[in-house]
Amino acid sequence: MQRIGLIVNHDKPTAAGTAHALMQHARDLGMEVLACAKTVAEAGGGMACQTEDFPGRVDAVVVLGGDGTMLNAAHRLQGSGIPLIGLNLGDLGYLTSIEASRIQEAMRCLRDDRFTISQRAALSCRILRHNGEQFVTMDALNDLVVSRGASGRAVWLELSLGGVAVTTYICDGIIVSTPTGSTAYALSAGGPIVMPETAALVVAVICPHTLTSRPLVVPDTTVITIRVAKSSAPLVASIDGQDDFSLALGEQIEVQRSPRTVPVIHLPGYDGYSVLDRKLGWGGR
């Protein structure tokens, strides 16, 4: 790879210094870097280019930030097929699993095409309104969350899988996650960890008013439908925490695996289990 795009979360304290180091490494390796005008100014180099103009101009995109920055990049480049590589400037860093201290190694691997690409599943979400209006949201790399929003009351949500009515939950909400998103909100709600290559989706209920509710793992060919059966206020459907839509009483959202994937770059020697071990503190006491 000779030309890369760069997306930086400038709210991170170390962002400017890391971006500057990346530009220096790129120059030393004979690589070109395209980034927004603010990043070019703060990093002291590169070619100014809006993120939305990256398709057709860059071979890959380096993301400096946390997992939220990576999700935002995936949304902005949706459908482009440009692979993303995340360097972690945040706290957890499941998606941005490469530490910023490895920036020189990462740039050299990109230049020499020494990496693997993981095609991450995404979710396509269709909202069905009372008036018959339908619209498809942005794809979700992590998850769709239907929640009670600002209301302090539990809601009734009907769940159907593949057109078959399953049950009605009294709860705070429902999470539908991809394998990538299984280590995000779904994990906090008691869901399982699903490795990225697994052909499955996770349905996890947020604070169900029952002791018998457990997360579901379903084939990724399943169409998942969530209908608002009872609520005192509009609910919120959140796509990767990036885009929010309201859901009124009687309205529903259909979720299924998207035909599009999000390509994520891994450096040589990447091991997803060791990332989980390190990030979750397995084996600690």
Give 139's contacts (C-beta < 8 A, 6+ positions apart): 75, 78, 122, 123, 124, 125, 239, 258, 260, 262
Amino acid at 160: S
Q: Which two tokens stand for residue 68?
A: 């939220």
> Got the DSSP string for 213-248?
---EEEETT--EEEEEEE-SS-EEEEETTTEEEEE-
Ordered by start, the domain boundaries in the chain are 3-115+267-280, 122-260
What pLDDT tens digit does each residue of the chain (285 aa) get? 999 999 999 999 999 999 999 999 999 999 999 999 999 999 999 999 999 999 999 999 999 999 999 999 999 999 899 999 999 997 777 888 788 889 999 999 999 999 999 999 999 999 999 888 888 888 999 999 999 977 778 999 999 999 999 999 999 999 999 999 999 999 999 999 999 999 999 999 999 999 999 999 999 999 999 999 999 888 999 999 989 999 999 999 999 999 999 999 999 999 999 888 888 888 777
* 3-state secondary structure at position 187: helix
Residue 3 backbone dihedrals phi, psi, to 5 degrees? -130, 125
The fold for domain 122-260 equals: Tumour Suppressor Smad4 (2.60.200)
Residue 218 φ/ψ region, left for φ over 0, alpha for ψ in the -120 to 50 degree band, beta for the rest:
beta
Active site residue 67: yes
Report the Cα 88 to chain-centroid distance in Å: 14
Residues shown for the chain: 285
Catalytic hit among 28, 53, 59, 67: 67
May I ask the CATH class of domain 3-115+267-280? Answer: alpha beta
